[in-house]
Structure 1
Amino acid sequence: MHIRIIAVGKVKEAWQKEGISDLIRRLTPYTSITITEIPDQKVSSPGEKVRAIIREGEALLTAAKEPAFLIVLDPAGREMGSEAFSDLIRKREISGSGDLVFVIGGPDGLSEEVRAKSDLTLSLSQMTFTHTIARLLLLEQIYRAFRIIRGEPYHR
Protein backbone atom coordinates (compact mmCIF):
# COMPACT_ATOMS: atom_id res chain seq x y z
CA MET A 1 0.00 0.00 0.00
CA HIS A 2 1.17 3.47 -0.82
CA ILE A 3 -0.13 6.45 1.12
CA ARG A 4 -0.38 9.79 -0.59
CA ILE A 5 -1.20 13.14 0.94
CA ILE A 6 -2.33 15.78 -1.51
CA ALA A 7 -2.53 19.24 0.01
CA VAL A 8 -3.20 22.75 -1.16
CA GLY A 9 -0.37 25.14 -0.36
CA LYS A 10 3.22 24.91 0.76
CA VAL A 11 4.63 24.44 4.23
CA LYS A 12 6.58 27.59 5.00
CA GLU A 13 7.63 27.27 8.64
CA ALA A 14 10.95 25.49 9.20
CA TRP A 15 9.76 23.70 12.35
CA GLN A 16 6.74 22.31 10.49
CA LYS A 17 8.93 21.11 7.62
CA GLU A 18 11.23 19.45 10.14
CA GLY A 19 8.33 17.70 11.89
CA ILE A 20 6.87 16.49 8.60
CA SER A 21 10.26 15.18 7.44
CA ASP A 22 10.78 13.40 10.76
CA LEU A 23 7.41 11.65 10.57
CA ILE A 24 7.96 10.60 6.95
CA ARG A 25 11.32 9.13 8.01
CA ARG A 26 9.62 7.26 10.87
CA LEU A 27 6.98 5.90 8.49
CA THR A 28 9.55 4.46 6.06
CA PRO A 29 9.68 0.99 7.72
CA TYR A 30 5.88 0.70 7.53
CA THR A 31 4.77 2.17 4.22
CA SER A 32 5.76 4.37 1.32
CA ILE A 33 4.37 7.86 1.60
CA THR A 34 4.44 10.88 -0.66
CA ILE A 35 3.16 14.39 -0.31
CA THR A 36 2.01 16.37 -3.32
CA GLU A 37 1.50 20.10 -2.96
CA ILE A 38 -1.06 21.84 -5.13
CA PRO A 39 -0.56 25.60 -5.57
CA ASP A 40 -3.14 27.61 -3.71
CA GLN A 41 -5.24 29.91 -5.85
CA LYS A 42 -4.98 33.61 -5.13
CA VAL A 43 -8.25 35.29 -4.26
CA SER A 44 -8.54 39.00 -5.03
CA SER A 45 -12.27 39.42 -4.43
CA PRO A 46 -15.10 37.55 -2.67
CA GLY A 47 -16.43 36.38 -6.04
CA GLU A 48 -13.08 34.76 -6.82
CA LYS A 49 -13.26 32.53 -3.74
CA VAL A 50 -15.69 30.00 -5.26
CA ARG A 51 -13.75 29.82 -8.53
CA ALA A 52 -10.49 29.35 -6.61
CA ILE A 53 -11.96 26.46 -4.60
CA ILE A 54 -13.18 24.82 -7.83
CA ARG A 55 -9.75 25.18 -9.50
CA GLU A 56 -8.00 23.77 -6.42
CA GLY A 57 -10.50 20.90 -6.37
CA GLU A 58 -9.82 20.04 -10.00
CA ALA A 59 -6.08 19.98 -9.30
CA LEU A 60 -6.58 17.82 -6.19
CA LEU A 61 -8.67 15.26 -8.08
CA THR A 62 -6.20 15.17 -10.99
CA ALA A 63 -3.39 14.44 -8.53
CA ALA A 64 -5.45 11.77 -6.71
CA LYS A 65 -5.71 9.43 -9.72
CA GLU A 66 -7.27 5.96 -9.60
CA PRO A 67 -7.50 3.45 -8.05
CA ALA A 68 -7.44 5.01 -4.65
CA PHE A 69 -9.44 5.17 -1.47
CA LEU A 70 -9.99 8.90 -1.18
CA ILE A 71 -10.23 10.46 2.28
CA VAL A 72 -10.84 14.18 2.52
CA LEU A 73 -10.07 16.07 5.69
CA ASP A 74 -12.84 18.40 6.71
CA PRO A 75 -13.95 19.77 10.10
CA ALA A 76 -17.49 18.54 9.37
CA GLY A 77 -16.27 14.99 8.72
CA ARG A 78 -16.40 11.88 10.84
CA GLU A 79 -14.22 11.84 13.91
CA MET A 80 -12.55 8.61 14.95
CA GLY A 81 -10.13 7.52 17.62
CA SER A 82 -6.62 6.31 16.91
CA GLU A 83 -7.61 2.64 17.18
CA ALA A 84 -10.47 3.02 14.68
CA PHE A 85 -8.18 4.95 12.35
CA SER A 86 -5.53 2.23 12.57
CA ASP A 87 -8.21 -0.37 11.79
CA LEU A 88 -9.18 1.58 8.67
CA ILE A 89 -5.56 1.62 7.51
CA ARG A 90 -5.09 -2.06 8.37
CA LYS A 91 -8.13 -3.07 6.32
CA ARG A 92 -6.87 -1.03 3.34
CA GLU A 93 -3.41 -2.56 3.71
CA ILE A 94 -4.82 -6.10 3.77
CA SER A 95 -7.15 -5.54 0.82
CA GLY A 96 -4.30 -4.38 -1.41
CA SER A 97 -6.78 -2.46 -3.51
CA GLY A 98 -4.81 0.64 -4.37
CA ASP A 99 -3.43 3.74 -2.77
CA LEU A 100 -4.79 5.43 0.29
CA VAL A 101 -5.08 9.11 -0.57
CA PHE A 102 -5.68 11.91 1.93
CA VAL A 103 -6.74 15.31 0.64
CA ILE A 104 -6.24 18.54 2.55
CA GLY A 105 -7.90 21.56 0.98
CA GLY A 106 -6.86 25.18 1.11
CA PRO A 107 -7.85 27.80 3.68
CA ASP A 108 -11.25 28.26 2.03
CA GLY A 109 -12.11 24.56 2.06
CA LEU A 110 -12.88 21.92 -0.56
CA SER A 111 -15.04 21.97 -3.64
CA GLU A 112 -18.29 20.03 -3.71
CA GLU A 113 -16.83 17.87 -6.49
CA VAL A 114 -13.98 16.73 -4.23
CA ARG A 115 -16.40 16.03 -1.39
CA ALA A 116 -18.66 14.02 -3.73
CA LYS A 117 -15.78 11.85 -5.00
CA SER A 118 -14.47 11.04 -1.55
CA ASP A 119 -14.88 7.62 0.02
CA LEU A 120 -14.65 9.09 3.52
CA THR A 121 -14.77 12.56 5.02
CA LEU A 122 -12.59 12.65 8.12
CA SER A 123 -12.24 15.29 10.82
CA LEU A 124 -9.04 15.51 12.83
CA SER A 125 -10.84 17.51 15.50
CA GLN A 126 -13.65 19.97 16.06
CA MET A 127 -10.92 22.55 16.61
CA THR A 128 -9.65 24.67 13.75
CA PHE A 129 -6.07 24.14 12.54
CA THR A 130 -4.04 25.66 9.76
CA HIS A 131 -3.72 23.38 6.78
CA THR A 132 -0.03 22.85 7.43
CA ILE A 133 -0.71 21.82 11.03
CA ALA A 134 -3.41 19.45 9.74
CA ARG A 135 -0.75 17.84 7.54
CA LEU A 136 1.54 17.37 10.54
CA LEU A 137 -1.28 15.96 12.70
CA LEU A 138 -2.37 13.59 9.94
CA LEU A 139 1.17 12.22 9.55
CA GLU A 140 1.44 11.71 13.30
CA GLN A 141 -1.84 9.77 13.30
CA ILE A 142 -0.75 7.64 10.34
CA TYR A 143 2.49 6.85 12.19
CA ARG A 144 0.55 6.03 15.37
CA ALA A 145 -1.81 3.80 13.34
CA PHE A 146 1.06 1.70 12.02
CA ARG A 147 2.51 1.36 15.52
CA ILE A 148 -0.89 0.14 16.74
CA ILE A 149 -1.26 -2.26 13.77
CA ARG A 150 2.15 -3.79 14.48
CA GLY A 151 1.53 -4.04 18.23
CA GLU A 152 4.37 -1.64 18.96
CA PRO A 153 4.28 0.78 21.90
CA TYR A 154 2.92 4.26 21.36
CA HIS A 155 1.98 7.14 23.63
CA ARG A 156 -1.66 7.15 24.63
Structure 2
Amino acid sequence: MRLVLACVGRLKAGAERDLVTRYLDRARAGGRQIGFTQVDMVEIGESTARRPEDRMAEEGAALVAAFPADAALVILDPRGQNLSSEAFTGWIRERRDGGVPAIYFVIGGADGLSGQVRSRATLLLAYGAATFPHQLVRVMAAEQLYRAVTILCGHPYHRA
Protein backbone atom coordinates (compact mmCIF):
# COMPACT_ATOMS: atom_id res chain seq x y z
CA MET A 1 0.00 0.00 0.00
CA ARG A 2 1.11 3.52 -0.77
CA LEU A 3 0.55 6.43 1.66
CA VAL A 4 0.63 9.88 0.07
CA LEU A 5 0.32 13.34 1.59
CA ALA A 6 -1.21 15.39 -1.27
CA CYS A 7 -1.08 19.14 -0.71
CA VAL A 8 -1.97 22.31 -2.55
CA GLY A 9 1.00 24.68 -2.44
CA ARG A 10 4.70 24.13 -2.14
CA LEU A 11 6.31 24.07 1.27
CA LYS A 12 9.35 26.34 1.38
CA ALA A 13 12.64 25.29 2.91
CA GLY A 14 12.60 25.66 6.66
CA ALA A 15 11.52 24.07 9.90
CA GLU A 16 8.13 22.88 8.67
CA ARG A 17 9.57 21.17 5.58
CA ASP A 18 12.29 19.62 7.71
CA LEU A 19 9.72 18.16 10.12
CA VAL A 20 7.48 16.84 7.34
CA THR A 21 10.49 15.23 5.66
CA ARG A 22 11.68 13.72 8.93
CA TYR A 23 8.30 12.17 9.78
CA LEU A 24 7.72 10.85 6.25
CA ASP A 25 11.22 9.36 6.15
CA ARG A 26 10.60 7.63 9.48
CA ALA A 27 7.19 6.37 8.32
CA ARG A 28 8.77 5.11 5.09
CA ALA A 29 11.49 3.21 6.96
CA GLY A 30 9.13 1.61 9.48
CA GLY A 31 6.31 1.08 7.02
CA ARG A 32 8.16 -1.29 4.71
CA GLN A 33 7.92 -4.16 7.19
CA ILE A 34 4.14 -3.79 7.56
CA GLY A 35 3.09 -3.46 3.94
CA PHE A 36 3.55 0.22 3.12
CA THR A 37 5.59 0.18 -0.06
CA GLN A 38 5.80 3.96 -0.39
CA VAL A 39 5.26 6.99 1.83
CA ASP A 40 5.39 10.16 -0.25
CA MET A 41 4.33 13.78 -0.52
CA VAL A 42 2.85 15.28 -3.69
CA GLU A 43 2.62 19.06 -3.96
CA ILE A 44 0.21 20.71 -6.39
CA GLY A 45 0.88 24.32 -7.40
CA GLU A 46 -1.51 26.98 -6.14
CA SER A 47 -3.82 28.44 -8.75
CA THR A 48 -3.36 32.08 -9.76
CA ALA A 49 -6.99 32.52 -10.83
CA ARG A 50 -8.68 35.67 -9.55
CA ARG A 51 -11.88 34.17 -8.14
CA PRO A 52 -11.79 31.70 -5.23
CA GLU A 53 -14.19 29.34 -7.06
CA ASP A 54 -11.86 29.26 -10.05
CA ARG A 55 -8.82 28.66 -7.84
CA MET A 56 -10.55 25.78 -6.09
CA ALA A 57 -11.66 24.30 -9.44
CA GLU A 58 -8.13 24.49 -10.93
CA GLU A 59 -6.48 23.09 -7.81
CA GLY A 60 -9.16 20.41 -7.54
CA ALA A 61 -8.64 19.30 -11.13
CA ALA A 62 -4.88 19.02 -10.52
CA LEU A 63 -5.45 17.02 -7.33
CA VAL A 64 -7.96 14.65 -8.92
CA ALA A 65 -5.49 14.03 -11.77
CA ALA A 66 -2.93 12.94 -9.16
CA PHE A 67 -5.23 10.35 -7.52
CA PRO A 68 -5.43 6.79 -8.84
CA ALA A 69 -9.07 5.77 -9.33
CA ASP A 70 -8.82 3.03 -6.69
CA ALA A 71 -7.18 5.16 -3.98
CA ALA A 72 -8.91 6.03 -0.72
CA LEU A 73 -8.98 9.77 0.00
CA VAL A 74 -8.72 11.29 3.45
CA ILE A 75 -9.64 14.97 3.27
CA LEU A 76 -8.31 17.08 6.12
CA ASP A 77 -11.20 19.36 7.02
CA PRO A 78 -12.24 21.02 10.30
CA ARG A 79 -15.80 19.74 9.70
CA GLY A 80 -14.56 16.14 9.60
CA GLN A 81 -14.36 13.46 12.26
CA ASN A 82 -12.02 13.78 15.20
CA LEU A 83 -10.27 10.43 15.51
CA SER A 84 -7.84 9.33 18.17
CA SER A 85 -4.47 8.14 16.91
CA GLU A 86 -5.55 4.56 17.64
CA ALA A 87 -8.80 4.94 15.67
CA PHE A 88 -6.94 6.61 12.80
CA THR A 89 -4.46 3.71 12.79
CA GLY A 90 -7.34 1.23 12.81
CA TRP A 91 -8.89 2.98 9.81
CA ILE A 92 -5.59 2.72 7.90
CA ARG A 93 -5.17 -0.93 8.96
CA GLU A 94 -8.65 -1.80 7.62
CA ARG A 95 -7.82 -0.27 4.22
CA ARG A 96 -4.40 -1.95 4.09
CA ASP A 97 -5.80 -5.35 5.06
CA GLY A 98 -8.73 -4.86 2.66
CA GLY A 99 -6.40 -4.49 -0.32
CA VAL A 100 -6.73 -0.75 -0.94
CA PRO A 101 -3.60 0.08 -2.96
CA ALA A 102 -3.18 3.69 -1.80
CA ILE A 103 -4.45 6.26 0.67
CA TYR A 104 -4.08 9.94 -0.20
CA PHE A 105 -4.23 12.43 2.67
CA VAL A 106 -5.41 15.68 1.08
CA ILE A 107 -4.70 19.21 2.32
CA GLY A 108 -6.37 21.89 0.21
CA GLY A 109 -5.36 25.42 -0.60
CA ALA A 110 -6.28 28.64 1.18
CA ASP A 111 -9.76 28.65 -0.39
CA GLY A 112 -10.48 25.03 0.48
CA LEU A 113 -11.23 22.05 -1.72
CA SER A 114 -13.56 21.87 -4.69
CA GLY A 115 -16.67 19.73 -4.72
CA GLN A 116 -14.92 17.56 -7.29
CA VAL A 117 -12.31 16.57 -4.68
CA ARG A 118 -14.69 16.46 -1.72
CA SER A 119 -17.05 14.10 -3.56
CA ARG A 120 -14.21 11.55 -3.82
CA ALA A 121 -13.51 11.58 -0.06
CA THR A 122 -13.52 8.27 1.76
CA LEU A 123 -13.04 10.04 5.10
CA LEU A 124 -13.23 13.66 6.29
CA LEU A 125 -10.70 14.04 9.09
CA ALA A 126 -10.37 16.96 11.52
CA TYR A 127 -7.63 17.93 13.91
CA GLY A 128 -10.16 19.81 16.02
CA ALA A 129 -12.37 22.81 15.32
CA ALA A 130 -9.53 25.34 15.26
CA THR A 131 -8.04 26.62 12.03
CA PHE A 132 -4.35 25.83 11.59
CA PRO A 133 -1.84 27.12 9.05
CA HIS A 134 -1.46 24.68 6.18
CA GLN A 135 2.23 24.25 6.94
CA LEU A 136 1.43 23.02 10.45
CA VAL A 137 -1.34 20.76 9.20
CA ARG A 138 1.23 19.09 6.97
CA VAL A 139 3.51 18.55 9.94
CA MET A 140 0.63 17.14 12.00
CA ALA A 141 -0.50 14.85 9.16
CA ALA A 142 3.03 13.56 8.58
CA GLU A 143 3.47 12.95 12.31
CA GLN A 144 0.16 11.08 12.51
CA LEU A 145 1.20 8.86 9.58
CA TYR A 146 4.45 8.11 11.37
CA ARG A 147 2.56 7.47 14.63
CA ALA A 148 0.17 5.09 12.82
CA VAL A 149 3.14 3.16 11.42
CA THR A 150 4.70 2.89 14.89
CA ILE A 151 1.42 1.70 16.40
CA LEU A 152 1.09 -0.97 13.69
CA CYS A 153 4.71 -2.03 14.28
CA GLY A 154 4.30 -2.20 18.06
CA HIS A 155 7.00 0.46 18.47
CA PRO A 156 6.97 2.36 21.80
CA TYR A 157 6.82 5.84 20.13
CA HIS A 158 3.08 5.98 20.84
CA ARG A 159 2.23 5.90 24.50
CA ALA A 160 -1.46 6.31 25.21
TM-score, normalised via structure 2 length: 0.90
Aligned to 2:23: 23
CA distance in 1 between counterparts of 2:94 and 2:42 reads: 24
For structure 1, the 5+ residue unaligned runs are: none
Contact 1:107 1:130 survives alignment (8 Å): no
One-letter code of the match for 2:5?
I
CA drift of 1:13 comes to 4.6
Aligned to 2:4: 4
One-letter code of the match for 1:36?
V
CA distance in 1 between counterparts of 2:122 and 2:93 reads: 16
User: Structure 1 residue 42 and structure 2 residue 67: aligned?
Assistant: no
One-letter code of the match for 2:21?
S
Q: Which runs of 4+ in 1 moved over 2 A?
A: none
Aligned to 1:104: 107
Q: Output one character per residue of 1:26-58: Cα deviation in whole Å (capped at 9) or x when no partner.
A: 1122132111111111254xxx11111111111
How many residues end up aligned between the 2 structures? 153
One-letter code of the match for 2:44?
I
For structure 2, the 5+ residue unaligned runs are: none
User: Structure 1 residue 51 and structure 2 residue 57: aligned?
Assistant: no
CA distance in 2 between counterparts of 1:142 and 1:84 reads: 12
| Paired residue secondary structure (1:114) | helix
Aligned to 2:121: 118
Contact 2:107 2:134 survives alignment (8 Å): yes
What is the root-mean-square deviation of aligned Cα atoms in Å? Answer: 1.3
Aligned to 1:137: 140
Contact 1:124 1:138 survives alignment (8 Å): no
Aligned to 1:71: 74
CA drift of 1:155 comes to 4.1
| Paired residue secondary structure (1:117) | coil
CA drift of 1:121 comes to 1.0
Identity among equivalent positions (%) equals 33
Contact 1:7 1:36 survives alignment (8 Å): yes
| Paired residue secondary structure (1:86) | helix
CA drift of 1:96 comes to 2.0
**Pick from 60, 64, 81: which aligns with 2:63?**
60
